[in-house]
A and B are shown apart, each in its own frame.
Chain A
Amino acid sequence: MASGNMKEIKRRVKSVESTMQITKAMELVASSKLRRAKTRAEDARPFFDELYAIMCRTAGLTKGLDTVYAAKREIKNRLYIVIAGDRGLAGGYNSNILKLADGRWTDDGIKPKIIAIGKKSVEFFSKRGYELIGEYPGLSEYIKVADAADIAQTATDMFLKHEADEIVLFFTQFVSPLVQNPIAMPVLPIIAPVGSLDKPNSSQVTYDPSPDAVFGRIIPRMITSLIVCAVNESYASELGARRTAMENATDNAQEMIDTLSLAYNRARQEKITNELNEIVSGANAL
């Protein structure tokens, strides 16, 4: 009985050990990739912030000018651009952002169309019966400006053709390797920050050659850059989340191995004691 138990425990220790090797390897891979992704995301942040600020400011200043991009419309159609990872095993990273997008429209029940970036995002939304406008799996690790420009162009076209009255970008902001925030960022129509509207002289900005021409050229580019930056942020977040998750998994595996070894040693001792007992009682019987 005892020896059978021991074999069982030994087998489990082995299997936990091999799992631990995998999680440990994934942790190391994630942390080395994280370093690069983190610098890329952090270097882009001033640009990202400035870009969004200009977009909002421009929208605030042009209140009187009535460009289609800043005009608020009644929402009949939605477009969500959702960035998630290509792989799982990253803790709550994928499910946090996907659930945020999945739960955001339920107030009025207008189901959004989706542009899905990342394999997990594609899988999630196609399984739930969303209409997918674009699928971009395997883009995150090395996003090309041309791909982002494609997405931005599709989104802008849909907005202009009234196929989307609200465009929201979902991504995960990288705060630190331990903290990542899922964020829903409204892209179109551009929402002016509160307070910018009542600035005097606010409509005296010069647009070269004309507001509409400037907007027409700038908006797709702004969205392109927003997407590139958001993908970089998300990718760094994914690696951070994966590293943390794998670190925990490795720790848990170690703990399990410790408990199992203890049980194994106990069983071994028990077996020896039993054998001794048998020998002693056998000798006594003689």
Chain B
Amino acid sequence: MTPFRLKILTPERLLFDGEVQSVIVRTTVGDKGILAHHEPYVAALGIGQAKIKDPDGKERVGAVSSGIVEVTAEKTTILAQSFEWADEIDVDRAEKARALAEENITRWKNDQRKLDIAEYKLKRAINRISTAERKL
């Protein structure tokens, strides 16, 4: 398959810049697969996994939480609030974050804003854990 250029960026660092065969990302409306010569496209990303296939056919999976994906003729860009490759995820930390978020959800039952934040964090933690486990 024709390879195309993909860039993955977070505020902390540049995670990936190179050729890939395909990308699958979780947008707010569902999973989206991107191949070379895709039409120009912009979407918001939800919390989920991103799968890329490099030119040798090897797959890599990462955990994404919220961001933007943009496809132009020159390249595809994933700008994410956070992005971690499956093999880089600290599962212990994610488990702790999940426990804390679950605790906060029961504690902040009456405060909608705090509840939203806790739920968001819980989703992220669960996503991290399942991404990491998928790898194993």
Contact = CB atoms under 8 A, between A and B. Distances in A.
B14 A214 contact: no
Interface stretch (A13-21, A50-58, A81-89, A123-131): A50-58
Given A221-B68, A222-B68, A229-B11, A47 B43 contact: no
A111 to B, nearest CB: 31
A208 B77 contact: no
A206 B34 CA distance: 13
A218 B66 CA distance: 9
A225 B42 CA distance: 17
A61 interface: yes
Interface string A22-49: 0000000000000000000001101110
B70 A47 contact: no
B75 to A, nearest CB: 10
Contact of B67 (A208, A214, A221, A228): A221
Contacts of B44: 214, 217-218, 221
A43 B12 contact: yes
Interface string B23-34: 000011100100
Contacts, number: 74
A54 B77 contact: yes
A54 B70 contact: yes
Nearest to B41: A206
Contacts of A208: 27, 29, 32, 41-43
A47 B10 contact: yes
Interface string A70-93: 000000000000000000000000
A1 interface: no
Contacts of B77: 50, 54
Contact of B79 (A43, A54, A205, A213): A54
A51 B10 CA distance: 10
Contacts of A57: 70, 72
Contacts of A206: 39-42
B40 A47 contact: no
A162 B9 CA distance: 33
A64 interface: no
A203 to B, nearest CB: 10
Nearest to B17: A46
> Which residue among B11, B28, B40, B44 has the maximum number of chain A CB atoms within 10 Å of its CB?
B11
Given A58-B70, A61-B40, A204-B39, 13 more contacts: A43-B11, A47-B79, A54-B42, A54-B70, A54-B77, A204-B40, A205-B39, A205-B41, A208-B32, A208-B41, A214-B43, A217-B28, A229-B11
Interface of A: 43-44, 46-48, 50-51, 54, 57-58, 61, 145-146, 201, 204-209, 213-214, 217-218, 221-222, 225, 228-229
10 contacts: A44-B12, A50-B7, A51-B79, A201-B40, A204-B40, A207-B41, A207-B42, A217-B44, A218-B42, A222-B68
